[in-house]
């Protein structure tokens, strides 16, 4: 006898973890300087942060930050490079960066995947690709972060902390 599991199925294991992909609730990115997703279960091994049509009021880069108990704003290693007629890269230490080389109103789309590299040290590896729909630019970002306790939250924010979101939506997926 065989069992067929379709894309909507999930399996609960002895630890209580539900295997499968769980979607958060999409949040409109139309105000404020940050968007938080909290209560990510401790058994999660991968989190994907997705942006669709995200725009801000200014020229600040975007960044994705993580934490356990609170958002951590330092200790990130990695960079964001952009593919254009004049390629370049930017170093980020306060989050996983998403460049904003066009300025206010630039429209970002893409996803960043965070994968648990080492559960003993709470080390997470990140990689993502983003692109503008109003400019011929693609951004690639990657890095790593050691979280002080089990990761339970992620944040999308503007790097300068003052530019506000004015369009689009953000959501997460997580899995064990």
Task: Indicate the pTM of the whole model.
Answer: 0.88
In this prediction, residue 27 carries a pLDDT of: 97
Q: What is the pLDDT of residue 101?
A: 76
**Distance (Å, whole) CA 145 – CA 114:** 10
Give residue 1's pLDDT: 45
Give the integer Cα–Cα distance in Å for 56 and 46: 27
Which residues, in sequence order, are CB contacts of 98 under 8 Å at separation 6+?
A: 51, 61, 62, 63, 64, 80, 108, 110, 112, 128, 130, 139, 141
Q: Identify the segments of the chain with pLDDT beneath 50.
A: 1-5
Domains of the chain (ranges plus CATH)? 11-175 (2.60.120)
Q: State residue 4's pLDDT score.
A: 46
| pLDDT at site 103 | 78
- Counting Cα atoms < 13 Å in the Cβ hemisphere of 100 gives 22
What pLDDT is recorded for position 86? 81
Tell me which residue has tokens 């990761």: 151
The pLDDT tens digits of the residues spanning 2-33 come to 444 455 555 555 555 556 899 999 999 999 99
pLDDT at 126: 98
Residue matched to tokens 């058994």 = 43
């Amino acid at each position: 006898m065989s069992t067929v599991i379709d894309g909507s199925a999930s399996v609960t294991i002895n630890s209580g973890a539900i295997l499968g992909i769980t979607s958060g609730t999409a949040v409109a990115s139309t105000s404020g300087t940050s968007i938080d997703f909290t209560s990510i279960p401790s058994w999660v091994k991968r989190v994907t942060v997705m942006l669709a049509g995200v725009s801000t009021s200014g020229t600040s880069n975007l960044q994705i930050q993580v934490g356990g108990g609170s958002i951590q704003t330092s200790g990130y290693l990695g960079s964001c490079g952009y593919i254009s007629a004049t390629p370049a890269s930017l170093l980020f230490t306060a989050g996983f960066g998403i460049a904003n080389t066009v300025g206010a109103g630039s429209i970002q789309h893409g996803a960043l995947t965070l994968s648990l590299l080492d559960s003993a040290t709470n080390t997470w590896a990140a990689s993502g690709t983003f692109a503008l729909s109003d400019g011929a630019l693609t951004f690639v970002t990657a890095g790593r972060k050691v979280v002080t306790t089990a990761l339970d939250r992620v944040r999308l924010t503007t790097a300068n902390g003052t530019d506000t979101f004015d369009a689009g939506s953000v959501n997460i997926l997580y899995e064990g």
